[in-house]
Amino acid sequence: MKKFILAASVLVAVYSCKKAEGTAKENTTEATSEAPKSNNKIVTLNGGITEIVAALGHEKEIVATDVTSTYPASLKATAKDLGHMRSMTIEPIMAVNPTLILASDKDINPELMGKIKSSGIKTEVFKQEYTVDGTKKLIEQVAKAIGNTDYQKLNDKIDADLKQVQPIAKKPKVLFIYARGNMLMVSGKNTPMASLITLAGGENAVTDFEDFKPLTPEAVVKANPDVLFFFETGLQGAGGNEGALKMPGVSQTNAGKNKKIIAMDGGLVSGFGPRLGEAAVGLNKLLIESTK
Amino acid sequence: MKAQSKLYFYLITSAVLLVIIAVLSLQTGVYDFGEKSPFMALWQLIKGDSGLSLSDKYVIWDVRAARIIMAILIGSMLAVSGTSLQGLFKNPLATGDLIGLTSGATLLAAIAIVLGGHFKEYLPEAVQFSLVGIAAFIGSFLSMMLVYRISTSGGKTNVVMMLLTGVAITAIGFSITGFLIYISKDEQLRDLTFWNLGSLAAATWTKNIILAVVMIIAYIVLLPKGKALNAMMLGEKDAHHLGINVERLKKEIIIIVALMVGSCVAFSGTIGFVGLIVPYILRLLFKSNYAFILPLSAVCGSILLLTADTFSRSIVAPSELPIGILTALMGGPIFIAILVKFKKSL
């Protein structure tokens, strides 16, 4: 019986700590947030969508985002981070009292979706296509959802940026490696990364499967990429350039032999939002440098 | 008669404790109810007060209350299934997860989830749930039959055989789930991993009603079996002489435990060790008297899982820790303690 009493008292203690923490947080938000444009309180659950909302001038209306929403960095101070889409639960979303939830159909797990639907909060789930047209369509849809008609400038900027992409005579084969802890995945056909690599004048090194698959030495050797492409955080986690060169199979490839490893900001390259053109130009420059 | 009133005393005390923890759990969470306490919000809801906002109503009823009830139902069923198995196998190490039932249920539930996805949307909600539930039941039932057949001969259960069969079933389950992980997409992969560690985040009232029905049917059959299980400790022959229909008792326990473990896994994923921890603590307090520990484990299992779940959703808020991590953390040391204590008899 003692154990039960102990457990109960620990629970009381945890509860009171949480309560105190909650009040402290409320005070800080009051001090930093400015008056939003409208009364919208938006929760964005996708990095690209977050960027679109912010680029349309509604950044102050965003009250909470998911972990992939890293841009603009100023959001960190004003919006609550709800963590990763896959481990997110409904109560923290309800806690920010949103009037609108914006999400992509690819990220959200069905159980959370069910909970969001039954909560009665207005929710827009967008179909995300990782192409230039798909991105423009997404911008238009998000703009409409938040009641903003001034979105054409964002689409024009993507076009203007993409014009700066220089053609590369001999298209380099690029292998994107998604490194997260011990888990290494490579991007196959029909992935955002494959699409961006093509936009930037390269060629996706993997052509025999779709989506992301675990990295195997044989597959790497077979793909024989000219360049290895990482998220900056992923490359750091994998032990930098040296770590990447030691990955199984890499030393047998052109990229490994010539030590061609590039990395870009994960939010920029995988967002497929208003900065799509910027991302393509950035990758294009890196590819040109690495093929010299 | 004296023993009976002692049992009622402990049952009522632990039920009161469970209610206190449920109230505390109801108060715990990141959502802010403003002026009123969450308990007030619930009271307003019960009274049918129109002043309660839709969000308040949703969080208190569909999120927190649903989850608390699910923790109570699942905790209770996992503990009772552990206690019953330990009585049946006459061994403190027999629990659904250690002898492979959970793994078998997980495997078939995972298959139903992956393959059922093709036609799931055409089915009504209740049938969708029972599809995975039925698969999980079949998985745990088949594992149970396998364990029982392999480890029992001449009415005696060989514990080492029982645990090794559990290891084998778990290995097979793990490898096929591993294959599912391999062919799954990145986001499905995260779901599978998360689901393998168990979570009560997807609690709904529909699921709770199904679980409650399973629990009521199971307990009507199982809870009065305490004395029979006590007699079983003397050995099957002696139990038979005492007027116990041993074969029928075994069948009933096997089917009902498989049903309980299967439906728990189907709705919450794998939550291990609850069936080990609760009977262990109760046995320390009341010895192996199943007339006592069987009904008590029904309440204490709820206490344990509700406490663990409240922690799991408040430690790393706004995110949450998979509850299986917490129960395994508690269960691991107890598993070792039992092994050390029964070192000679294994």
Q: What is the 3-state secondary structure (H, E, C) of chain A?
A: CHHHHHHHHHHHHHHHHHHHHHHHHHHHHHHHCCCCCCCCCEEECCHHHHHHHHHHHHHHHEEEECCCCCCCCCHHHHCEECCCHHHCCHHHHHHCCCCEEEEECCCCCHHHHHHHHHHCCEEEEECCCCCHHHHHHHHHHHHHHCCCCCCHHHHHHHHHHHCCCCCCCCCCEEEEEEEECCEEEEECECCHHHHHHHHCCCEECCCCCECEEECCHHHHHHHCCCEEEEEHHHHHHCCHHHHHHCCCCHHHCHHHHHCCEEEECHHHHHCCCCCHHHHHHHHHHHHHHHHC
* B279 preceded by a cis bond (ω within 30 of 0): no
Interface mutation target, options B19, B62, B186, chain A, most CBs of A under 10 Å: B186
Closest CB to B20: pick one of A8, A22, A87.
Answer: A8
* C-alpha to C-alpha distance for A216 and B172, rounded to whole angstroms: 23
Residues B184-199 have a mean pLDDT of: 68
CB B142 within 8 A of CB B104: yes
* C-alpha to C-alpha distance for A36 and A52, rounded to whole angstroms: 16
Query: B30 in contact with A at a CB cutoff of 8 Å?
Result: yes
What is Dmax (Cα atoms) for chain A?
77
B71 vs B270: which has the higher pLDDT = B71
Confidence of residue B306 (pLDDT cuts 50, 70, 90): very high
Query: A18 in contact with B at a CB cutoff of 8 Å?
Result: yes
Chain A residues with beta carbon closer than 8 angstroms to that of B320 = 87, 89
Chain B residues with beta carbon closer than 8 angstroms to that of A22 = 30, 32
Q: Is the pLDDT of residue B3 over 70?
A: yes
CA distance A267 to chain B (A): 17
A209 vs A15: which has the higher pLDDT = A209
A23 vs B171: which has the higher pLDDT = B171
Q: Is the pLDDT of residue A120 over 80?
A: yes
CA distance B310 to chain A (A): 8
CA distance B239 to chain A (A): 32
Q: Is the pLDDT of residue A20 over 50?
A: no
Q: Is the pLDDT of residue B187 over 70?
A: no
Which residue on chain B is closest to A22 by alpha carbon? B30
**Residue listed under structure tokens 């900001």:** A265
Residues A73-77 have a mean pLDDT of: 91
Dihedral of the alpha carbons of B267, B269, B273, B276, in degrees to the nearest 10: 30
Give me the interface pTM, i.e. the ipTM.
0.70
Is the full-model pTM beyond 0.90?
A: no
Interface of B with A in 306-325 (CB under 8 A): 307, 310-311, 313-315, 317-320
Q: Is the pLDDT of residue A13 over 70?
A: no
Least confident of A2-11, A110-119, A162-171, A256-265: A2-11
Least confident of A227-241, A256-270, B60-74, B328-342: B328-342
First and final CA of chain A: distance in angstroms? 74
CB B97 within 8 A of CB B275: yes
**Dihedral pair phi/psi, residue A46, rounded to 5°:** -160, 135
CB A180 within 8 A of CB A253: no
B197 vs B243: which has the higher pLDDT = B243
Q: What average pLDDT does chain A have?
A: 85
CA distances (Å), origin A11, targets B25, B72, B260, B310:
8, 16, 28, 8
Query: pLDDT digits over B142-178, tens only?
Result: 998 898 888 888 767 777 888 899 899 999 988 887 7
How far is residue B300 CA from its own chain's centroid? Answer: 12
How far is residue A89 CA from its own chain's centroid? Answer: 19
Do A106 and B187 make contact, defined as CB atoms within 8 angstroms? yes
Do B314 and A26 make contact, defined as CB atoms within 8 angstroms? no
Do A111 and B55 make contact, defined as CB atoms within 8 angstroms? no
Closest CB to B63: pick one of A80, A91, A97.
Answer: A91
Size of interface A-B (CB pairs under 8 A): 115
Among left, alpha and beta (phi > 0; psi -120 to 50; other), residue A131 is beta
Query: A120 in contact with B at a CB cutoff of 8 Å?
Result: yes
The partner residues of A101 in beta bridges, in order of sequence, read A43, A123
* C-alpha to C-alpha distance for B17 and B23, rounded to whole angstroms: 10
The partner residues of A214 in beta bridges, in order of sequence, read A185
Q: What pLDDT, on a 0 to 100 scale, did the predictor assign at position A260?
A: 94
Dihedral of the alpha carbons of B199, B202, B208, B209, in degrees to the nearest 10: -140
**Residue listed under structure tokens 């914006």:** A102
Query: A212 in contact with B at a CB cutoff of 8 Å?
Result: yes
* C-alpha to C-alpha distance for B157 and B99, rounded to whole angstroms: 13
What DSSP element (H or E) covers B153?
strand B152-153
What percentage of chain A has pLDDT greater than the value 70? 86
CA distances (Å), origin B230, targets B16, B251, B253, B287, B291:
27, 17, 14, 11, 7
Kindly give the pairing relationship between strand A183-187 and strand A173-180: antiparallel
Q: Which two tokens stand for residue B208?
A: 């709770």
* C-alpha to C-alpha distance for A23 and B127, rounded to whole angstroms: 44
With CA atoms as reference, report the closest residue to B318 among A47, A61, A66, A24.
Answer: A66
CA distances (Å), origin B24, targets A19, A73, A91:
12, 37, 16
Which residue on chain A is closest to B186 by alpha carbon? A212
Query: A169 in contact with B at a CB cutoff of 8 Å?
Result: no
CB A157 within 8 A of CB A274: yes
Q: Which two tokens stand for residue A277?
A: 């053109």
